[in-house]
Structure 1
């Protein structure tokens, strides 16, 4: 069941990452970059529905498993994924797997939001968390 849940959620990553236009993909040997939330004493709880409400949507649950829950938010501005985890170790495993795809994510305590990069900063002011740039493992786009 765990493999199916992780595979199912990772299958959606290219769709969300594709929205960024590829600018966030970096070479495999690059180090992840991190930007912290301003001193906004806000920390969202690790529950898909609550995080969705704080971002202005009602999430449709796509994955419900022991290791994670994932909801899809559809708004006028963007579609995005909210993934929550019962323990930090599951979040770390998910992030390790997602690093293959690269891209930016908003990461909090036992939750991750995958959205267009310009949306992440808006969400960070509401949810707290840290914006992380994950390295991609595939080829980088050429300048031609």
Structure 2
């Protein structure tokens, strides 16, 4: 079985380095029910036109931009595939808005704003505090 995980991780890493920054998490006050649906449906809810980067059976991944900023939006065929992707991606840092078989990744302000639209739970990547990174 061949999975394109190394390529997916490399693409994700490049996207995250371009998108993420340091910042403190700000918890939103009003969170709607977690959105579900296709990548296109979620992008429409977030008011962005997805720039598709990966379109495969296991994962669909796009870069989106809306009034709040730029983020990566990914949908998954399985819960397990989603969790494996998140676990690998967290090595790159960043903030993750996690829903049922989807995730949005960006900096704190963007993810917090998206949560007000898409619902979901915010998870943080592994950041090695102490400054020194972008």
In the superposition, the TM-score normalised over structure 2's length comes to 0.80
Q: Which is bigger in relative contact order (C-alpha 8 A, separation at least 6)?
A: 1
Residue in structure 2 matching 1:70, options 34, 58, 61: 61
Distance 1:59 1:92 in 2: 22
Q: What residue ranges of structure 2 are gaps of 5+ in the alignment?
A: none
Q: What residue ranges of structure 1 are gaps of 5+ in the alignment?
A: 25-32
Q: What's 2:4 paired with?
A: 2
Distance 1:6 1:43 in 2: 26
Distance 1:134 1:87 in 2: 21
Residue in structure 2 matching 1:104, options 95, 118, 123: 95
Distance 2:92 2:58 in 1: 20
Say whether 1:16 aligns with 2:19: yes
Residue in structure 2 matching 1:141, options 124, 131, 134: 131
Runs of 4 or more, structure 1, over 4 Å off, are: 35-39
C-alpha RMSD of the superposition: 2.4
Asked whether the 8 Å contact 1:2–1:65 carries over to 2, the reply is no
Distance 2:116 2:68 in 1: 17
Distance 1:123 1:68 in 2: 20
Change in CA separation of 1:89 and 1:74 when aligned onto 2, cut-off 3 Å: same
